[in-house]
Amino acid sequence: MMASPEYSAARLNMVDSQIRPNKVTDQRVVDAFLAIPRDQFVPAGLRGVAYVDKSIPVGNGRFLLEPMVLARLLNEAKIEATDIVLDVGTGTGYSAAVIGRLAATVVALESDAGLAAQANQSMQTHGVDNAAIMQGPLAAGWVKQGPYNVIVVQGAVSAVPPALLDQLAEGGRLVAVVLPESGQGVARLYQKTGGQVSSRILFDASASLLPGLEAKPDFQF
């Protein structure tokens, strides 16, 4: 794992001030955020603000989720060491690297070719050997490696695409920020039990809409 010593204090401060106080109780999640250098997954000119409590633009209209939002989503997803996880909209691969510390396998889906290439390079650079970067439309998921124990969506959706819910294993969990056309965005947990999917609100959250997951008439749940 390539370290960035000049940012290690900022990374620790991010965990102590943004993640630990915000109902992130799974120590494995906390440790994952301590282990992965977020500054190495943002454009060079933004490394100085890589650990602030905001989403960070990584190019082509895409953002890394705010650390607290991602940490709480992962905390609620209850990822186990044997789980296969689909990371939808991985961007530069930061989320895949973090999830890779929690799960057995990460299938990281990215629609943007440039970001997918960058994420792939980052996996190699940081020695993340249990995450595979796949390129394709985000709303379609990645059927070939499914079903998944956990699906994490790295940005807001107007509604969760049915294809993603279909790729949940029995007992599987999906976490996402849902941003209706009007109203406050909320983080939601979807769970498949007996072949049926139920959902509940976790907390208020804001995030940028992921390209391809904006409001569409057929995205109803």
d(CA 12, CA 33) in angstroms, rounded, equals 9
Structure tokens at 75: 């905390």
Q: Is 211 helix (H, G, I), strand (E, B) or coil?
A: coil
User: How much of the chain exceeds pLDDT 70, in percent?
Assistant: 95
d(CA 152, CA 173) in angstroms, rounded, equals 9
Average pLDDT of span 168-186: 91
Mean pLDDT of the chain: 93
- CA angle at 127 for the pair 31 and 13, rounded to the nearest 5°: 30
Long-range CB pairs of 74-77 (<8 Å, 24+ gap) are 74/26, 74/29, 74/32, 74/98, 74/99, 74/102, 74/152, 74/175, 75/23, 75/24, 75/25, 75/26, 75/29, 76/173, 76/175, 76/187, 76/189, 76/202, 77/150, 77/152, 77/173, 77/175, 77/189
For residue 72, is pLDDT > 50? Answer: yes
Average pLDDT of span 176-192: 91
d(CA 211, CA 209) in angstroms, rounded, equals 6
For residue 218, is pLDDT > 80? Answer: no
Q: Quick one: pLDDT band at residue 216, thresholds 50, 70, 90?
A: low
For residue 221, is pLDDT > 50? Answer: no
For residue 104, is pLDDT > 60? Answer: yes
Q: Quick one: pLDDT band at residue 212, thresholds 50, 70, 90?
A: confident
Q: Is 213:221 a contact under the CB 8 Å cutoff?
A: no
Read off the pLDDT of residues 20-45 as tens digits, 9 standing for 90 and up.
999 999 999 999 999 999 999 999 99
Of 40, 56, 39, 57, the closest CA to residue 48 belongs to 39
- The alpha carbon of residue 166 and the mean position of all alpha carbons in its chain are separated, in whole angstroms, by 19
For residue 203, is pLDDT > 90? Answer: yes
Read off the pLDDT of residues 113-172 as tens digits, 9 standing for 90 and up.
999 999 999 999 999 999 999 999 999 999 999 999 999 999 999 999 999 999 999 999
